[in-house]
A and B are shown apart, each in its own frame.
Chain A
């Protein structure tokens, strides 16, 4: 389960960022922010030739001492970043993928909302609750 989930706009500013409340929130901001370097690099590395069949899932962006950072980028260059606890070894790649899929679906719903302005921060309750379900429950 994730400890921090972020949605980042095409222009690399956060649309949504949420972390488990117990921890230092700013730390996750830093983690996600620096992970964008890797995301950008991965996107550009894939290149234009592969643009069609490019996989959305970027895999593990980088491991830190305590966390693993996973990334995923949509075709519209919106990025999803999930930070998971390194100690949680049970977390498989497949689960991460399915989390991204859920996140993507929910994000699509948000975008479908005619009252949502693309580029604004996400304030949808449905999205929020979906994210909460994916987060580690603070015990």
Chain B
């Protein structure tokens, strides 16, 4: 007996063994279908008695093991059911012969046998035979179960007769000595008349009767017999049989205490048992010391008390098991018996929840030497150890043995390594190492576990799946390894893992589909969200010029339609929540939208990421993938992913898509709590036209100072006061929608200066007449830039005037303005640099032109876009008044006001004053036009006339003469001339 039956459990002692075998050629699936039906008859209650007979079926049993049948009767094959196919009457004799041959194999021990013949019809099939049943086909055999039951009953009759036979002939005749195969030669030539020998025979027989009683369903009688056998055998030191008697005692007690069985749910007997006795399946799982149950025992309480005395208590059972195993251990050849006893004891202990003791039994079982085991047996042994450890809740130990079994499957000594089995076993070890192949479990926080062991296991999985010829699995496991254990791998390991991953993916690219193993296990996809690691995701607004705006009126309309209430806290609440996720700005259908990711590469080498794109939902989105290459251990690195929404609606940025080392992964932001994001939902509005603006003037380098408004572009120009410049603006429709409306407005920003007349003026009529503007077409708009500023407040000028010896203190032209201007001169950024040496007379004028336009589907929704053009004009003064004097006029109420006008420009300019003829001033020329002024109430009139004059002067036209160059701001001021003792005069 060399092959242990690891599935044995204590209650198997009460079963009778029936072998079911095919004879001749029987299709395997048909055989097992019949086998299954036969095995459903696992328990038969015998008519006219309260007893049950339990049957254990085997379709394969070593005759060698049968020889131990005297030692423990449940090892003895007592029944044989043969299944055969017989096509015609001609084959019948042959089939019959084969059946008889098979019967001879177990012949010595068989109580009865049956032959089930399928396919035979006709004469032979008609005859009624007890030992042969004929069925026309495998599908047409309704009474198989009935037949088997009859068969079992006939076995019972033989069993019962044997039991009675053995139990009664107590001392009269000579009792034969029962012995196990290896003992036979030991007893040769032994004195058969000695007292010792007789006792030995008696004890062994007693034990045998105990076995028979147990099988025949007489539990209490069995207990009594076992007790007597123990007494007898102990006195003669027959250790092997003493062990067997003790084990029989244990088995009977276990059957008594745990009627649910110790084998667990896997046992095929349980359903029938539950059916037969209406017991809940879990009764056996509870530990109920000394509990008396109605397990086929009569309800007579008085007898129960007597019986319970013979029965061992739960504690004793284990003690006796220990003792029995120690006796078995004395015999090398009883290794299998010892091992099986250990397994049975562990199962009992598992039910009793005495885990520590169970582990001791198992530890012992590990060391039982069964001689040379074949590789297959080793695998079986390790797997069963693993299963038993699992049973007692030692999951780690169980995983350890399972892994050993897996490794055994592919041991180098095996000619054909079972990589498939190895892989399957390895997968089963995963829970023991608290590893789950779903990467979602690892997304929370840092990894905590037995990294070294887990990494090893994953490597083994990878290797096994590769040898299995399934590179897809290898890729999946390797990606899992990379994703979850990245922080725990050394640089060298990282390199190796990625290299092998690249090797595998060259054969089988990794994807995002769920891999399903043949046994139904699903391997979820592993997105490599750590290659590269994404730290933040930020949706970017469109560039200023492309941002859509909503018409105000429509917006209000939209709001009010949401709720009839002006105020409702509920709406406020939901709106607030929306805001946390929804982003303020909008994207436009058909326009390129950008999302910025901050990424870094944790690997010690350059990481190439291909096809990096956005994953979106809600809106049809055309992602434009990017490829990037991140340097080794890079810092945070901005990556902009772009795409074009193709329809309108709310778009949700769910994640991103990458392809690294040939593994494509879809990383969803939901699963990446470490990624910072400011919201991922953006409204995409229907498409709008796009305008491109170009101007005839050069672009401005410096932005406008009041940068409240973001400008799409700006121009700057330098003009003399009073000068007019034409600005041609070309608007080209570069989008795909028709431009339907265009509005132009302007706003002057720098309002501190007093501005006369219109700064910017245009005529929109012509441009509007060209609408709608088809894509690719352009429209031009001419804008007149006219500057008329008040330069009279210049401080230096007034100083000059003061110094002229004429009292000007009373002049209202100076005093109020001086006070206002003085502090400003210091704070002015432009003026501050040159104020020490020279007063800067340049003034700036700024305005923003806004082009509101709309069209296409976006217009229907009430959206528009605007372009804004900043116009920056540096205005230089064109003339200076260097001297003021008065001349009495002919009338007393009037006087002449004489002004020295100096042309500081390099151009000719024309000054026109009230009622005077125009005066042409050449560059750097000074002239004295006389301005008539009324006398009289000096303070009043003068000021009036001066103001009036000034306004006239301001309205003087500056005529620009073409084809000259201008030097900006280099013109000497009157002060400059004065300091050199020079009074500018006309040449």
Q: A: which residues have CB within 8 A of B?
A: 9, 11-14, 17, 25-26, 29-30, 33-34, 36-38, 41-42, 45, 62-63, 119
| A30 lies within 8 A of B400 (CB) | yes
Q: Which listed segment binds A: B342-350, B446-454, B640-648, B928-936?
A: B446-454
CB–CB A42/B356 < 8 A: yes
Q: Which residues of B contact A36 (CB under 8 A)?
A: 396
Tell me whether B452 and A37 are in contact (CB under 8 A): no
Check A119 against B396 for contact (C-beta < 8 Å).
Answer: no
Q: List 23 A-B contacts (CB under 8 A).
A: A11-B448, A13-B449, A14-B450, A25-B452, A26-B452, A26-B456, A33-B450, A34-B394, A34-B396, A34-B397, A34-B400, A36-B396, A37-B359, A37-B389, A37-B395, A37-B396, A37-B397, A38-B394, A41-B355, A41-B356, A41-B393, A45-B356, A62-B363
Closest to A9 in B: B448
Q: How far is the CA of A9 from the CA of B355 in the complex (A)?
A: 23
Expressed in whole angstroms, the Cα–Cα distance for A63 and B450 within the complex equals 22
A43 and B452 CA atoms in complex are apart in Å by 25
Interface residues of chain B: helix, strand, loop or mixed (majority):
helix
B448 and A33: CB pair below 8 A?
A: no
Give the residues in chain A near B448, CB-CB below 8 Å: 9, 11, 13, 119
B445's nearest neighbour on chain A, judged by CB, is A119
Q: How far, in whole Å, are A63 and B364 apart by their CA atoms in the complex?
A: 11
Bound complex: CA of A29 vs CA of B450, how far in Å? Answer: 8
In the assembled complex, which residues on chain A have CB atoms less than 8 Å from the CB atom of B393?
37, 41
B-side interface residues, number (CB < 8 Å): 20
A-B pairs with the 3 shortest C-beta distances? Answer: A37-B394, A13-B448, A34-B397
Can you add 10 more A-B contacts, CB < 8 Å, to A30-B453, A37-B397, A62-B363?
A: A12-B434, A33-B400, A33-B433, A33-B450, A34-B396, A34-B400, A38-B359, A38-B394, A45-B355, A119-B448
Contact yes or no, A29 B453, CB < 8 A:
yes
**Contact of A13 with B450 in the complex, beta carbons under 8 Å:** yes
Question: Quick one: which of B389-421 are within 8 Å of A by CB?
Answer: 389, 393-397, 400
Q: Give residues 703-750 of B contacting A (CB, 8 Å).
A: none
**Cα(A109)–Cα(B168), bound, Å:** 77
CA of A29 to CA of B395 in the docked complex: distance in angstroms?
Answer: 15
- B355 in contact with A29 (CB, 8 Å): no
Q: Which residues of A contact B359 (CB under 8 A)?
A: 37-38, 41, 62
Q: Which of A11, A36, A37 lies at the interface centre, i.e. has the most chain B CB atoms within 10 A of its CB?
A: A37
Cβ-closest chain B residue relative to A44: B355
B452: which A residues are within 8 A, CB to CB? 17, 25-26, 29
The complex places the Cα of A12 from the Cα of B433 at a distance, in Å, of 11
Which residues does chain B contribute within 8 Å of A41, judged by CB atoms? 355-356, 359, 393-394
Alpha-carbon separation in the docked complex, A119 to B217 (Å): 58
Distance, CA A36 to CA B450, complexed state (A)? 12
Tell me the nearest residue of chain A to B360, going by C-beta. Answer: A62
Are B395 and A38 in contact, with the CB atoms below 8 A?
Answer: no
Compute how far the CA of A134 lies from the CA of B712 in the bound complex, rounded to whole angstroms: 73
Distance from A56 Cβ to chain B, minimum over Cβ atoms (Å): 18
* Complex Cα gap A62–B396 (Å): 14
Q: Chain A's nearest CB lies how many Å from the CB of B433?
A: 8
Interface bits B438-461 vs A (CB < 8 Å: 1, else 0): 000000000011111100100000
**Cα–Cα distance between A33 and B369 once the two chains are bound (Å):** 26
Complex CA distance for A37 and B395, rounded to whole angstroms: 7
Chain A residues in 8 Å Cβ range of B433:
33
Q: Closest CB of chain B to A28's CB: distance in Å?
A: 9
Greatest chain A CB density within 10 A among B400, B434, B448 is at B448
Write out the residue numbers on chain B whose beta carbons fall within 8 Å of the beta carbon of A9.
448
Bound-state CA distance A42–B700 (Å) is: 82
Q: Provide the residues of chain B in CB contact with A14, threshold 8 Å.
A: 450-451
Q: How far is the CA of A45 from the CA of B357 in the complex (A)?
A: 12
Instruction: From known contacts A14-B450, A26-B452, A119-B448, infer whether A33 and B363 are also in contact, taking CB-CB under 8 Å.
Output: no
When distances are taken between beta carbons in the complex, the residues of chain B under 8 Å from A33 are 396, 400, 433, 450, 453
Contact A26/B363 with A37-B395, A37-B397, A45-B356 known, Cβ cut-off 8 Å = no
Residues of the B chain whose Cβ atoms lie less than 8 Å from the Cβ of A12 = 434
Quick one: closest B residue to A14, CB to CB? Answer: B450
Closest chain A residue to B353 by CB distance?
Answer: A45
CB distance from A44 to the nearest CB of B (A): 9
A63 nearest CB neighbor, chain B only: B363
Chain A: CB-nearest residue to B404 = A30
Q: Which residues of B contact A45 (CB under 8 A)?
A: 355-356
Complex CA–CA separation, A92 to B433 (angstroms): 32
Residues in A with CB closer than 8 Å to B363 are 62-63
Q: Which residues of B contact A29 (CB under 8 A)?
A: 450, 452-453
Nearest CB to that of B394 among chain A residues?
A37
Report the bound CA distance from A37 to B356 in whole Å: 10
Interface centre among B359, B449, B450, B453 (most CB of A within 10 A): B450
In the bound assembly, the distance between CA atoms of A27 and B396 in angstroms comes to 14
When chains A and B are docked, how far (Å) is the Cα of A80 from the Cα of B654? 45
Contacts of B396 in A (CB 8 A): 33-34, 36-37
A26: shortest Cβ distance to chain B, in Å?
6
Residues of B within 8 A of A42 (CB): 356
Q: Which residue of B lies closest to A13 (CB)?
A: B448
Chain A residues contacting B356 (CB-CB under 8 Å) are: 38, 41-42, 45
Chain A residues with CB under 8 A of B456:
26
B residues less than 8 Å from A30 (CB atoms): 400, 453
- B 63-97 to A, binary, CB cutoff 8 A, 1 in contact else 0: 00000000000000000000000000000000000
Closest to A15 in B: B448
How far is it, in angstroms, between the C-alpha of A12 and the C-alpha of B449 when the chains are bound? Answer: 8
- Closest A residue to B433 by beta carbon equals A33
CB closest chain-A residue, reference B455 = A26
In whole Å, how far is A8's beta carbon from the nearest beta carbon of chain B? 9
In the bound complex, CA of A36 to CA of B433 (Å) = 11
**How far, in angstroms, from A45 to B449 measured CA to CA in the complex?**
24
Shortest CB-to-CB span from A83 to chain B, Å, is: 15
In the bound assembly, the distance between CA atoms of A123 and B847 in angstroms comes to 65
Instruction: Among B356, B396, B449, B453, find the residue whose CB has the most chain A CB atoms closer than 10 A.
Output: B396
Closest to A45 in B: B356
- Nearest chain A CB to B570 CB, angstrom units: 43
Contacts of A62 in B (CB 8 A): 359, 363
| Nearest residue, chain B, Cβ from A120 | B446
Min C-beta distance of A42 to chain B, whole Å: 7
Q: How far is the CB of A95 from chain B (nearest CB, A)?
A: 24
Which of A36, A41, A62 has the most B CB atoms < 10 Å from its CB? A41
Chain A residues near B451: list those with CB within 8 A: 14
Q: How far is the CB of A120 from chain B (nearest CB, A)?
A: 9
* Min CB–CB distance A58 → chain B (angstroms): 11
A65 CB, nearest partner CB in chain B, Å: 8
> B450 contacts which chain A residues (CB < 8 A)?
13-14, 29, 33
Q: Which residue of chain B lies nearest to A17 when distances are taken between CB atoms in the complex?
A: B452
Q: How far is the CA of A38 from the CA of B450 in the complex (A)?
A: 17
What is the CA–CA distance of A77 and B451 in the complex, to the nearest angstrom?
A: 21
Interface residues of B in 323-366 (CB under 8 A from A): 355-356, 359, 363
Complexed CA–CA distance, A36 and B398 (Å): 12
Cβ of A26 and Cβ of B449 under 8 Å apart? no
Bound-complex Cα distance A37 to B362 (A) = 14
Residues of chain B within 8 A (CB-CB) of A119 are 448
B 248-274 to A, binary, CB cutoff 8 A, 1 in contact else 0: 000000000000000000000000000
| Chain A hits for B355, CB < 8 A | 41, 45
Query: With A and B bound together, what is the CA distance between A17 and B452 in angstroms?
Result: 10
Q: How far is the CA of A9 from the CA of B451 in the complex (A)?
A: 14
A84 to B394, CA, bound (A): 22
How far is B481's CA from A48's CA once the two chains are assembled, in angstroms?
40
Cβ distance B489 to chain A, nearest Cβ, rounded Å:
15
A11–B363 CA distance with the chains assembled, in angstroms? 26
Residues in chain A near residue B389, CB distance under 8 A = 37
Across the two chains, which residue of chain B brings its CB closest to A37? B394
Which residues of A have CB within 8 Å of B395?
37
Q: Contacts A42-B356, A119-B448; is A26 near B394 (CB within 8 Å)?
A: no
* Shortest beta-carbon distance from A69 to chain B in Å: 12
Q: How far is the CA of A29 from the CA of B613 in the complex (A)?
A: 42
* Residue interface mask B310-322, A partner, CB < 8 A = 1: 0000000000000
